[in-house]
Chains A and B, each alone.
Chain A
Amino acid sequence: MLLTINNLQASIDGMDILKGINLNVNAGEVHAIMGPNGSGKSTLASVLAGREEYEVTGGEVLFNGKDLLELAPEERAREGLFLAFQYPVEIPGVSTTNFLKTAVNQVREHRGLEPLDAVSFLRLMKEKMQLVEMSQALLNRSLNEGFSGGEKKRNEIFQMAMLEPQLAILDETDSGLDIDALRIVASGVNKLKGKDNAVIVVTHYQRLLDYIVPDFVHVLYKGRIVKSGTKELAMELEEKGYDWIKAEVEAGA
């Protein structure tokens, strides 16, 4: 098992957001997490990535058998967990190239590999750029600064390609993308998918799932996974919206 989440609970500023999440992800699988706005999807992604503002109040997470919650955010990243941010951050004056060179080499060091020299690094960049149709010019600019929404999201997937994570969590990578950008991003993700890694796709539209086909679909609502199924569940949500799920939950409660 690549990722095991048992009864995970988390709060922010004393407010409970995640109220007992259970999820198992095997290598080679694609999971989709859907749910209405404010249900806790980004919170789950942030807690897994180690964002300090969120307090974990219960439960456990195992990543490759290791206690994930014990690790610092950078250690989680080096262990192979990647988060494509819903709102990628801008860092003025730091080019994506320079940023990634630092990142790739710190990750490599953790994995016991030699740092890449400039030539090999550029070669690797060239290769990965093609996956998401990134241009060199964009990579030489300050990280995400003045990038369009689509460029930012493509840059996230490009970074994922460079870092070769075992588990990638894509938080609303589809939001704000036009259909062409969506296709580029999705095909990038599909090319990176393999039997040794897994992807968790967070979205509240099923549109993206036409391109990245999930093995499992989970519905997150009010901090709990209230329904799980296969890709047919996503279709059903697309057709009927979330109200019936909400109704089911209220009835059950």
Chain B
Amino acid sequence: MAKDTEILESITSSEYKWGWETKIENDSAPKGLNEDIIRFISAKKEEPEWLLEWRLKAYHQWLSMKEPKWPNVQYPEVDFQDIIYYSAPKKKPTAKSLDEVDPELLDTFKRLGISLEEQKRLTGVAVDAVIDSVSVATTFKAKLGELGIIFMSFSEAVKEHPELVRKYLGSVVPVTDNYYAALNSAVFTDGSFCYIPKGVRCPMELSTYFRINAANTGQFERTLIVADEGSYVSYLEGCTAPQRDENQLHAAVVEIYAAKKAEVKYSTVQNWYPGDKQGKGGIYNFVTKRGICAGDYAKISWTQVETGSAITWKYPSCILKGDYSVGEFYSVAVTNNYQQADTGTKMIHIGKHTKSRIVSKGISAGRSQNSYRGLVQIMKRAEGARNFSQCDSLLMGDKCGAHTFPYIEVENPTAKVEHEATTSKIGEDQIFYCNQRGIDTEDAVALIVNGYAKEVLKQLPMEFAVEAQKLLALTLEGSVG
């Protein structure tokens, strides 16, 4: 119905609400990428020789690789020489307490809706905040330290726990893995490191808020999470970026290592700048996330709520190496206006009786394109492996697209793989029903969309589930009504 389409179009028209720039002085490298830049970054960060060599090796790998063209996304060629690869806030706060943190920064957090103080006081969330490339605030460190938990910026970890970093860095995502992972390995500037010792259950959500800030700054985060035998940690990553016209490249790498009986829950809420209503600007989000269940009975669970970025290219994956290990992927990906997302997961079953579960909920509005791409691979040895995949697409309006690309490779006859997929349109009937009960269209859409995504949202830690719900509503605001 014409009316329906109009309605759907108008929800798509709200402006990005996180568009401002923090005025912290930068200390930047010149534009471009070459060996000298990599040496510059490494020197700036006072890195050991082995890490510089590792970066250089990655750089040379990258030079020999080609940008992947298989994702179902379209964008102009990225000029890698037109990117600044290092930018650090000049007033580098030595944040022992929040009073020492740059007030501009605190204000930034307030605007993001995350007051650190509030978080510290109310939720017991330890936040390692990253603005641009250098970590500026780490809280709760002492408390976590008592349990032997290491949670710090990647640069600090390189200095304080080089043996751990060296042992695990690149062990899950090797430098040769893919084009963007190689690039990240060469130029990553900071990120988070987390180690949970044997048998320790991390008593709080560990959380990192990333924010891309300075103009023309590529952002290359590196996250490494190591969960030793029988440990547990829940980790949350949230992102926003200021509004900007140029496209900005973001190529992060996240590696998770789960030893025997360890469990890692990794949740992402991503609302980077998606570009404006005409499709101008926005973040290119080319991310490699992978976890390995190295030991028996290990479990890794990815939950993502993706509402931002102009282009998302991201497949959080699990290598199920240990027998009886479990991998999960829960995803809500929303695209609006001219956003493009090609996202999904890979579940690689190597160990016996490994299990995986995939729940993907795509929501497309405006003129956006939303693709699910998933691989379920059952190796020869993976006797009794199980996979269940549910891939749903919800369309708002008739100018957007939803696509599903499931790949299934089974080499063991005892495996059981199930795949279900549905595509539905947000119903005018549903909206009218809500209206008839006094609920306006905007709230009706929020209600329907959140209901649709519920199975995924309920995987998030409580306080973030509420945020994610608001974010979904906000992203689709104006696309109906």
Query: Do A and B originate from a single complex?
Result: yes
Q: Which A residues are within 8 Å of any B CB, using their own CB? A: 49-53, 72-74, 76-78, 82-83, 85, 88-94, 98-100, 102-103, 106-107, 110, 142-143, 159, 163
Q: Is the CB of B1 within 8 A of A106?
A: no
Contact A102 B455 (CB under 8 A): no
User: With a CB–CB cut-off of 8 A, which chain A residues contact B430?
Assistant: 89-91
Known: A52-B432, A72-B440, A102-B439. 5 other contacts (CB 8 A): A82-B436, A83-B436, A91-B448, A103-B437, A106-B443
Which chain B residues border A90 with CB–CB below 8 Å?
430
B427 at the interface (CB under 8 A from A): yes
Q: How far is the CA of A106 from the CA of B442 in the complex (A)?
A: 12
B94 at the interface (CB under 8 A from A): no
- In the complex, chain A residues whose CB is within 8 Å of the CB of B66: none
| Cα separation A78 to B435 with both chains bound (whole Å) | 9
* A53 CA / B428 CA spacing, docked (Å): 10
Residues of A within 8 A of B434 (CB): 74, 91, 99, 103
Task: Give me 20 A-to-B residue pairs in the complex whose CB atoms sit less than 8 angstroms apart, sorted by A's number.
Answer: A49-B436, A50-B435, A52-B428, A53-B1, A53-B3, A53-B428, A74-B435, A74-B438, A74-B439, A89-B429, A90-B430, A91-B447, A91-B451, A92-B451, A93-B451, A93-B452, A103-B434, A106-B438, A142-B451, A163-B438
> A98 to B458, alpha carbons, bound, how many Å?
15
Interface size class of B (residues with CB under 8 A): 20 to 34
- B residues less than 8 Å from A100 (CB atoms): 437
8 A Cβ contacts from B401-444 to A = 427-430, 432-441, 443
Within the complex, the shortest CB–CB distance from A57 to chain B, in Å, comes to: 16
What's the count of A-B pairs with C-beta under 8 Å?
Answer: 85
A77 pairs with B435, CB closer than 8 A: yes
Give the residue name and chain of the A residue nearest to B440 (CB). A74
Bound-complex Cα distance A92 to B1 (A): 22
Contacts of A102 in B (CB 8 A): 439, 443, 447
Q: Is B450 an interface residue (CB 8 A)?
A: yes
B437 / chain A contacts, CB cutoff of 8 Å:
77, 99-100, 103, 107, 159, 163
Contacts of B441 in A (CB 8 A): 74
For the complex of A and B, 8 pairs with smallest distance between CB atoms: A93-B451, A94-B451, A93-B454, A73-B435, A103-B437, A77-B438, A89-B433, A107-B438
From A73, A103, A163, give the contact of B432 (CB < 8 A).
Answer: A73
* Residue in A closest to B458 when the chains form the complex, CB atoms: A93
B450 touches A93 (CB 8 A): yes
List B residues 1-23 near A (Cβ within 8 Å). 1, 3
| Residue of A51, A92, A98 with most chain B CB atoms under a 10 A cut-off | A92
Considering only CB atoms, which chain A residue lies closest to B361 in the complex? A93
Residues of B within 8 Å of A143, CB to CB, are: 451
A51 engages B450 (CB within 8 Å): no
Interface centre among A51, A90, A93, A98 (most CB of B within 10 A): A93
A52 contacts B1, C-beta separation under 8 Å: yes
Task: For the complex formed, measure the closest distance between the CB of A87 and the CB atoms of chain B, giving whole angstroms.
Answer: 8
What is the CB-to-nearest-CB distance from B406 to chain A, in angstroms, rounded to a whole number?
22
A52-B3, A77-B437, A102-B439 are contacts. A89–B447 as well, Cβ < 8 Å?
no
- The closest CB in chain A to the CB of B2 belongs to A52
CB closest chain-B residue, reference A81: B436
CB distance from A141 to the nearest CB of B (A): 12
Most buried by A among B429, B432, B440: B432
B1: nearest chain-A partner, CB-CB: A53
Q: Contact at A88–B436, with CB atoms within 8 Å?
A: no
Q: Is the CB of A103 within 8 A of B455?
A: no
Supposing A85-B433, A88-B433, A91-B433 touch, asked if A110 and B1 sit within 8 A by C-beta, the answer is no
B116 is an interface residue with CB less than 8 A from chain A:
no
In the bound complex, what is the Cα–Cα distance between A73 and B433 (angstroms)? 9
Query: CB of B453 within 8 A of chain A?
Result: yes
Residue pair B451, A73 in contact (C-beta under 8 Å): no
- CB-contact partner of A92 in B432, B436, B452, under 8 A: B452
